[in-house]
Chain A
Amino acid sequence: MACGGASPATGFSHPVFAQDTLYVGSTGGKVYALDPANGNKKWTFPADNSKIAVLYSAPIVGDQYVFIGSSDKKLYVLSASSGEKQCEFETGDSIIATPAYANGVVYVGSSDGSLYAVDPKQKNDKGQCARKWEFKTQSKVWAEPLIVGDKIYVASLDHHLYALNLNRADNDKPLWDFSAEGAIASSPRFADGLLYFGSFDNNVYAVSAADGKKVWQYATENWVWADPLVVNNLVVIGSLDHNIYALDSKTGQMKWKFATGEGVRAAVSGKEAIVYAGSEDRNVYAINVSDGSKVWEYNAVDKVLAAPALVDGSVIVQTNNHKVYALDAASGQKKWEFETDK
């Protein structure tokens, strides 16, 4: 902890791999498109020496666009090939949440308490991307919305998880909402009809995607801010109590837990046998999904608050010291590193 008071804002945007490119929202406030093989820069936004603002939102890719929210309240729509700005959409407060994209519409939550549906191809009379609809919650929306079929699920710091129709009007009521005891900053994940997420009430929840009824909950010993990963019938999720938990996705029973030295805010990434996690203890861990044993660890010099990305045998992590590391997924050996602008 810093010597009391406000910690410096560094952001925790996680890298995203799409269309043969690695997209990184840097701790210095720029968006980078990198070659995942060697870390060579393809483009940056802004292209000059300026920066946007602190980035918490990850850059997601849809069609020919990169979408990223910024703490300057704006959602930026960039060309995925050149980084050139296509349009922007301004909300009432900083954007911490990663956007979601489906069927030509981008959905983004804002600290002003709303989830916005924005059409990147249409512009309003101010030259901004056109708003399709807005859904207001009672507090900040910091979690990435999840789109499943024709529904969108969004969590808010007002303690609720809401289910909405994708094609809705401003005043339409949610299909259902689930109330937790604490704020929800964890983005829901979907598997086998259930939605999984964590809450500041220390719990990991599984609720039915159909009606929002709780199926199970599991109590950790501190806030659960991280997004869950569902793999091999396990919900793997970090807690600020320093542990990473693997819970049975059907029952919520704990299968194993893995202790790190500090809180785990970042989502765990992985596909099958091994999952990868960053911790505030400055390490990146590779963990066996079957039993929670450590495969390797890599000291990343500074806190790892953003989820790792997996790219062709590499684990890409961004740390708070303005570095992007590519680690060998099997051994944890560093392949390359890239220093972003400060």
Chain B
Amino acid sequence: MQIFDIFIPLLIQPLVNVMVVMYALLGHNFVFALLASTILVQLITWPLTMQSMSSSKKMQALQNSPEWKDAQKKYKNDREKMSQVTMELYRKHGINPAAGCLPTLIQFPLLIAFYQAINVLLAVNPETLLDMTRYLYHNIPFIADIAKQTVPLQSTFLWLNLAHPDPYYVMPVLVAASTWLSQRTMSMPSGDTQQAAINNQMQLMMPVMIGWFALQVASGLSIYWIISSLVRMAIQGFTQGWGNVLPSGLKLPAGIKLPGRLSAARPAAKKVAEPKPSSADVQVKPETPPRKPDQPVSSNNGAKGEGKRRARRRARR
């Protein structure tokens, strides 16, 4: 048994069966089935994503704190001591330094599982269709009945044969664009200039890599990736507010409110996204010097105290 075989009963098999049911329920349309399954999976994994985002925020706040900066300055020539102090600070503020990687770590097994499930369901060759019988839950009559009536699944959508790469390269471009957008909205700005540079680089590299990957694989998988990026952003919008989700510079017309928390248009929401050492956001001691009376809260919003109030609300949550 190979190590990856663990994915079969844990992820791939359930996904295959869920998607077969969705396909039957949603008018025998594979893309609709993919959409419904993606939303379901993103909702299931959302608590983990939230946890890691919270951890990222704490980390970001810590990195912006004078405590951190002082330590960096003080021990810049003593790596060992620096790492000791860093770990101490992490412990003190209850930060798990690995937690920030969670969203990515979650997405990759899911990507692999969806990749395998899509290949199985679209049956690119007769051998794969033959294999599909091993993935189906034959002992659940409801699923077995649905499967025998729906297999083989229709693999055409618009101009695409979902089992093959997009011949017109539209999907790879959309995959790269949605990855870039999703990363921009999900990532936390870092106070550490080196880290910020790495983040920026990653934000460019990842879309290119994923886009290149989309050139080679079934367009059904590209559709999954686009949907999952959009769904993640939508869930973030509903739970965290649309301020972070909407691209900077995009202002909603006056009077339009999006559903979900913090549905305010971009200017007000921007403050939340700014890497401010907000004490309410994290449990880092407010060691920042008091703001001078003439210092503006936000460069583009006159609503003084709005950011603080919002931060307090989130701290209470």
Tell me the A residues contacting B by CB distance below 8 Å.
1-10, 12, 54, 56, 71, 96, 139-140, 142, 157, 181-183, 200-202, 221-223, 225, 240, 263, 265, 305
Contacts and interface: CB of A to CB of B under 8 A. Distances in A.
B127 A4 contact: no
B316 interface: no
Nearest to B16: A4
Contact of A240 (B117, B133, B135): B133
A263 B138 CA distance: 14
Given A139-B152, A181-B148, A222-B138, A6 B128 contact: yes
Interface in B94-151: 112-113, 115-117, 119-120, 124-128, 130-131, 133-135, 138, 148-149, 151
Nearest to B130: A265
Interface stretch (B4-12, B58-66, B229-237): B4-12
Contact of B8 (A4, A54, A96): A4
Contacts of A157: 152
B135 A1 contact: yes
Contacts, number: 78
Interface in B42-62: none
A200 B12 CA distance: 22
The A interface is mostly helix, strand or loop, or mixed, namely loop
A223 B148 contact: yes
15 contacts: A3-B5, A4-B7, A4-B8, A4-B12, A4-B113, A4-B116, A4-B120, A7-B128, A9-B125, A12-B127, A71-B125, A142-B126, A182-B151, A223-B133, A240-B130
Contact of B125 (A54, A222, A223): A54
Nearest to A140: B152
Nearest 5 pairs of A and B residues by beta carbon:
A4-B116, A5-B116, A7-B127, A9-B125, A6-B119
Majority secondary structure, B binding face: helix
B254 to A, nearest CB: 50
B127 A10 contact: yes
Nearest to B122: A6
Nearest to A203: B148
B193 interface: no
Contacts of B120: 4-6
A6 B124 contact: yes
A142 B130 CA distance: 13
A9 B131 CA distance: 12
Given A4-B117, A9-B125, 17 more contacts: A1-B134, A3-B2, A3-B7, A3-B8, A4-B8, A4-B120, A5-B116, A6-B120, A6-B128, A7-B127, A10-B127, A181-B148, A181-B149, A221-B138, A222-B133, A223-B133, A225-B130
B8 A1 contact: yes
A218 to B, nearest CB: 15
A109 to B, nearest CB: 13
A9 B124 CA distance: 9
Contact of B133 (A139, A140, A263): A263
Contacts of A56: 126
